[in-house]
Amino acid sequence: MTEETSKVPSATTVPEGNRLSNVQRFNGFQDTYDQHRPEAPQEVVTLLTQYLGHRPSLVVDIGSGTGLSSFVWRDTAARIIGVEPNDDMRSKAVDKLMSLAGAPTDDQVQAAEMSFVPGYSNQLELPDGAAEIVTCSQSFHWMEPVSTLKEIARVLREGGIFAAYDCDWPPSLDWQVELAYHELIELSEQLIDRHVDAAEQAYKGNKDEHLKHIRESGHFRFTKEIVFHHTEPFTAERYIGLAVSQGGIQTVFKLNLPEIHAKLDQFQALVTDYFQGRTLPLMFSYRMRIGIK
């Protein structure tokens, strides 16, 4: 790893407005996350490129995680930078990039048209007006909106686009299975509230307020919410893995709280019984909020 890629965020280096607990929530489960989470839909690239009106010279993907929302731009943008504060997640993205590029060294990877760097949403190591598109996939709710949008506006060129997009969990399948999913997630959050001091918990904002934050920031002359769907193949293993990849479940695992196991076993049995060994095309519903500078 290059020195830039291997920086470890610490309490002394986290910029004001960020919470270290939000970064650490994603420690240690990058493989599960990358295996089971959905890739960014091609519709994101198509829509944002259409609004921009030409091939983007630079796309900055903030909170890029394992790169699931960055690699989708490889055939469209001239350059892509994924910004991710969590070392484990970012290292997985770099490993994937090295594998795709066939690059023998990290230095060559970082010199290519795509790179993954450490950083925070409200303190980007980019010059003014450098980016034409900035995205946050499943990540804007972890960020302090006021300082983040100010920083995004700084690095966007005039006419540049910011897009925060999220899917609704879980993908559409069956009401009983989906209810069991939500009950499992709710139990994990209850256990965290019971066993972790509020000051030490990760904090996430309300996704329903994304457009409001973008609109009221005053940095964008046009704002809009776009809804669309995206289908991916799912087995029972992946559906279960998607639930297990959620940060609340992973936090409960790290706390070694046995109360989650019975509910998880019930969920696994229900999902396995429903799929009956099949691979099914499941629909994700997406909501993308955009602002044009």
Q: Is the pTM of this model over 0.75?
A: yes
Q: What is the pLDDT of residues 23-67, one digit of tens each?
A: 888 898 899 999 999 999 999 999 999 999 999 999 999 999 999
Over the range 23-54, which residues count as b (16 or more CB within 10 Å of their CB) and which as e?
bbbbeebbebbbebbbebbebbbebbbebbee
Split at pLDDT 50, 70, 90, the class of 21 is: confident
Looking at every residue in the chain, the average pLDDT score rounds to 92
- pLDDT, residue 119, reads 96
In CATH terms, 20-168+202-231+283-292 corresponds, of 3.30.390.10, 3.20.80.10, 3.90.420.10, 3.40.50.150, to: 3.40.50.150
Angle at 77 between CA 76 and CA 79, to 5 degrees: 145
Radius of gyration of the CA atoms of the chain, in A: 19
Split at pLDDT 50, 70, 90, the class of 103 is: low
Domains of the chain by residue range = 20-168+202-231+283-292
Residues 6+ apart with CB under 8 A from 109: 94, 97, 98, 101, 103, 115
DSSP string, the chain: --TTTT----TTTSPTT--HHHHHTTTT-HHHHHHHSPPPPHHHHHHHHHHH-S--S-EEEET-TTTTTTGGGTTT-S-EEEE---HHHHHHHHHHHHHHHT-SSHHHHHHSSEEEE--BTTB-S--TT-EEEEEEES-GGGS-HHHHHHHHHHHEEEEEEEEEEEEPSS-BS-HHHHHHHHHHHHHHHHHHHHHS-GGGS-----GGGHHHHHHHTS--SEEEEEEEEEEEEE-HHHHHHHHHTSHHHHHHHHHT-THHHHHHHHHHHHHHHHHTT--EEEEEEEEEEEEE-
Please determine, for residue 190, whether its predicted confidence score (pLDDT) is greater than 80: yes
Split at pLDDT 50, 70, 90, the class of 19 is: confident
Please determine, for residue 244, whether its predicted confidence score (pLDDT) is greater than 80: yes
Please determine, for residue 18, whether its predicted confidence score (pLDDT) is greater than 90: no
- pLDDT, residue 7, reads 40
Task: Read off the pLDDT of each residue in 142-151 and give the average, rounded to a whole number.
Answer: 97
Please determine, for residue 3, whether its predicted confidence score (pLDDT) is greater than 60: no
Residues 6+ apart with CB under 8 A from 151: 121, 122, 123, 124
Please determine, for residue 237, whether its predicted confidence score (pLDDT) is greater than 60: yes
